[in-house]
Structure 1
Amino acid sequence: MEKGKLYGVGVGPGDPELITRKAERILREADVVAVPDKGAGEKTALRIVEDLVAGKELLFCPTPMVRDRAVLEACYEKIAGDLCALLDQGRTVAFITLGDPTVYSTYIYVHKKVAERGYEAELIPGVPSFCAVAARLGTSLCEGAERLLIVPASHDPSDSLDVKANKVFMKAGKGLGELKDLLDRRGLLDRASMVANCGMEGEQVFHRLSDAGEGSSYFSIVLVKEEGSGTAC
């Protein structure tokens, strides 16, 4: 039997209208849709595509929000094994992931494992969340010779502030207070803006980061413009 194919499908940041035509086609054609499951009851990626995958077989893939590499590695191995079992049956599987599968995506670890086992796997790009955030703020990410630095805010971002570039701090929710304090000490707070839950229910837009409270959604992205660049609002 010919083996099936795995697709890692970026479904965009939250607004279903930002799903690409290619992603839509693959989701409609897939035999099985794999869904990341963080165990908290929230399956954001599935909500975005629910109309496209209604009636399809779903494979829920536990991806706990922990930093223990051994725990994560075991989860990725288990998911890869479950996906390969479906591919051995000749089935096409679409694994949905928020934003783009190449930008801080849990899926990419599974993708590598499946590909290393000799199965065909393809990445389908999606609209990155930081692009949607910049559009929502009505500003550019970078112009002319400006550079752009993408930073995971959940890890210590302090050294990134020494880089001369416009900066995007992703997943800033829990660490928002610390990030605001850091930017304030470096004289950058007035150049920072934020969107939480961009394109999702409960979206919040702050053209001035200083107006945002200390607590925020996991899906919070902070944009900081370098001095001399355009303002963030």
Structure 2
Amino acid sequence: MYPVTLVSLGPGDPELITLKGLRTLQEADCIFCPETATRQGAPACSRAAHILAQLHIPDNKIERFHLPMSKDRQQAMAAYDQAFLQIRTLCADNRRVCIVAEGDAGLYASIHYIYDRLHSEGYPVEQIPGIPAFIASGARAGLHLVSQQQRLTVIPGLATTEDIEQLLGEGGTVVIMKLSQCTDEIHHCIRLHPEYTYQYFENVGTEQERLFTDPQTLANLRFPYFSLMIIMANR
């Protein structure tokens, strides 16, 4: 039985996938790819599928499954359960199956639920690492994220100003993922601490990529889903 492989695609630029990841996709019989609708009634879209198309992966190998964008994870879990059942059937037919995730599949990727379930039921699974968005963002801006004994802390969009103050007070760099979930708190932090260095990234690795560093601009900017921020104290 072939292992089911989680393939990390990187943040958006198709050239940032690893050679191993690309080869695995090319050899796969079926590639499970999540798609979402950004608002009710809107057509489903998939950034992962767009990356696959740029990599010239045949569309007939791609099995899209709808992943609801909601804080209520029950619907998402139901979608993952359905994908798991399909994958299990393909495994029984000795098909080579991949599941794709943007960025790195082990970093804030809820699709890992399928990996965990397959593993718990005895199916062979493996994971191919990729470049997470904050690493690509740092390279895009020419940042040296940490030096010597400094710490790099990556936190989700539940960050508060107090969290940021404490972490920067200990030295190092703070990366906030899922930035749209804490827009008001980030605006408050920017107004309270204009002395920090803020690096904001949106849709990194895509044609819609944007980078802002001006605190006044950031303090009034609404953050979309595909955004993150790198914050540093003055060094």
| % identity of equivalent residues | 27
Q: Secondary structure at the match of 1:143?
A: coil
- State the Cα distance separating 1:221 from its structure 2 match: 1.1
Supply the distance in 2 between the matched residues of 1:119 and 1:159 (Cα, whole angstroms).
Answer: 43
Corresponding residue of 1:49: 52
Map 1:78-93 → 2, pairs under 5 A:
78-93=82-97
Name the structure 2 match of 1:214.
221
**Deviation readout 1:95-127 (Å, 9 max, x if unpaired):** 111000010002211110111111111110011
2:148 matched residue in structure 1: 144
Structure 1, unpaired ranges of 5+: 229-233
Q: Which secondary structure state, in structure 2, belongs to the residue aligned with residue 192 of structure 1?
A: strand
Deviations 1:169-199 (A, max 9, x none): 11213533431213432x2564111111111
TM-score normalized by the length of structure 2: 0.87
Q: How many pairs does the alignment contain?
A: 224
- In 2, Cα distance between the equivalents of 1:176 and 1:119? 40
Query: How far off its partner does 1:209 sit?
Result: 4.2
Alpha-carbon shift at residue 159 of structure 1 (Å):
4.8
Say whether the 8 Å CA contact 1:4–1:88 is kept in structure 2: no
Structure 2 unaligned regions, length at least 5: 39-43
1:192 aligns with 2:198: yes
Q: Distance in 2 between matches of 1:115 and 1:68?
A: 25
More moved, 60-69 vs 89-98: 60-69
Partner of 1:175: 182
Structure 1 residue 140 displacement after superposition = 1.4
Q: Which amino acid aligns with 1:217?
A: P
| Residues 190, 215 of structure 2: 8 Å contact kept | no
Counterpart in the other structure of 2:163: 160
Q: Deviations over 1:51-81 (max 9, x none)?
A: 3312442211222111223333323222211
TM-score, with structure 1 as normaliser: 0.88
Match of 1:231 in 2: none
Contact map agreement 1:24 1:52 (CA 8 A) in 2? no
Contact in 1 for aligned 2:101/2:111 (Cα 8 Å): yes
